[in-house]
Amino acid sequence: MLEVLDSRKLDIHLYNPYQSESVNILNNDYPLAANFSAGYGLWLSENQLDGVGYLNLITRQPEERLPKLFMLEPYDPNKRVLIMLHGLASSPATWVNLTNDILNDDKLRDNYQVWQIFYPTNLPILENRYQIQRLIDSTYQQTDPTGQNLASKNSVIISHSMGAVIARMMLSDENLVDDLDNLDDQNILSNSEKRKVRDALKASFGEAQLQERFKLQTLPQVDTAVFLSAPFRGTDYADRWFTRALRRVVYLPVGLVKTVTENLATIATKGDLADNPLGALYLQNGASQLSDKSSFIQLTKDLAINDRITYHSIIANNDADITKGLAEMQPGGARIDLSQAIEEDARGEAISTSENADSDNTKLTDESLVAAVTIDENISQALTERLSDGIVPYTSAHLDGAASETVINGGHSIQENPQTILTLRRILHQQLNQ
């Protein structure tokens, strides 16, 4: 010991905790302690992304801000990619609970690398989808030009609210141009006016660029998606008096507006350009387009997801009594009840203590806190009309064909809910085992 203290030489060895779990000193192995979320927390703190998300929504910008992709660790060709896409007026900071949980789960950390997308939510949703998908495509191309790495296969998208609407578009192969005529249900535009608006949009972006914005193509690297509180069919919340007032301070980038309106302003149409079904696709901000009456929702509400994609829905309900009643209706009492202990199975997956119980034992007591319900059968229309997270109703978030549908007891921001984290962990572990 004295010899060490008298030495003037100091050796410092740096280890990557993702690659080294122990260190050998004098022929003895010693485990290395690691904090996998410290760097992530520092990055969030230094950049104040929560505030930037709101500013991007309400600040008038001379030009549109393009989305950004953040890798939370150096690219690893041998890990699957987990893409996270936030919602309206939000940022990657919304995923802090989920990300911390993944980074502290050995199996998930060893098999997934997280890519978080940050995008300005004031842009028209069609434009955001185009820009985000182009960013993701270019990132895969730069990191793996031949597409042979494990990282270019079996990717997962987890998305919330507006981000889920965008994610579904990136997992569809429909051509929205074929559906444009369906927007004119009230005959607001004559056929000649519709043709002029369509021609003007083409002139704004160039015909090839317009086609890229309206012709959807599934991301080839992705095979699994999870949608959280997704307003696929819009929400009337966007049309309430206070939200309509807030929408007025959400600005489109000046450059984008100028490009489109210069081509549309010469067309004789009834009312403001942004109120016309076709013009509204690029002259309404993203918040306005989430209205269940918007042209965008009319155009995209029935989008089909590519058959090879396995997708899951996590839907919030803010009435605990309805959630409890829903649990009692499910065959076999299929539910996750946080009033009981959550066990871990051999694969490290969270399972309900009551999942395999006999039907006689599945009746809930008055003290039971039902945090989430896995839906195993169709819900009656009378019940679906009452299910809502306070912003997005169940009827808007529900998707036929989902591999699983889980109703979480809580409000719209369920990405922060502990039960949502458990459900997402289970889905990710299942994907690894398939």
Kindly calculate the radius of gyration of the chain based on its CA atoms and give it in whole angstroms.
24
Question: Over the chain, what is the mean pLDDT?
Answer: 78
Q: Would you call 248 helix, strand, or coil by DSSP?
A: coil
Q: What are phi and psi of 263, to 5 degrees?
A: -85, -25
Which range has the worst mean pLDDT, 139-143, 361-365, 398-402? 361-365
Q: Report the C-alpha gap between 106 and 82 in whole angstroms.
A: 15
**C-alpha distances in Å from residue 161, one per residue of 37, 64, 250, 262:** 25, 21, 18, 32
- N-to-C CA span, the chain: 53
Per residue in 5-34, is it b (16+ CB within 10 Å) or e — as a string?
eeeeeeeeeeeeeeeeeeeeeeeeeeeeee
**For residue 162, how far is the Cα from the chain centroid?**
7
Residue-wise pLDDT tens digits, 235-272: 987 565 334 544 444 444 545 545 555 555 554 343 45
**For residue 26, how far is the Cα from the chain centroid?**
49
Q: Which residues contact 141 (CB under 8 A, 6 or more apart)?
A: none
pLDDT of residue 400: 94
Which range has the worst mean pLDDT, 13-27, 92-106, 277-291? 277-291
Contact 58, 198 (CB under 8 A): no
Contact 398, 313 (CB under 8 A): yes
Q: Report the C-alpha gap between 113 and 247 in whole angstroms.
A: 36
Which range has the worst mean pLDDT, 49-63, 70-84, 116-130, 322-336? 49-63
Mean per-residue pLDDT, 168-177:
94
Two structure tokens written together for 175:
């051509």
Percent of the chain with pLDDT over 90: 43
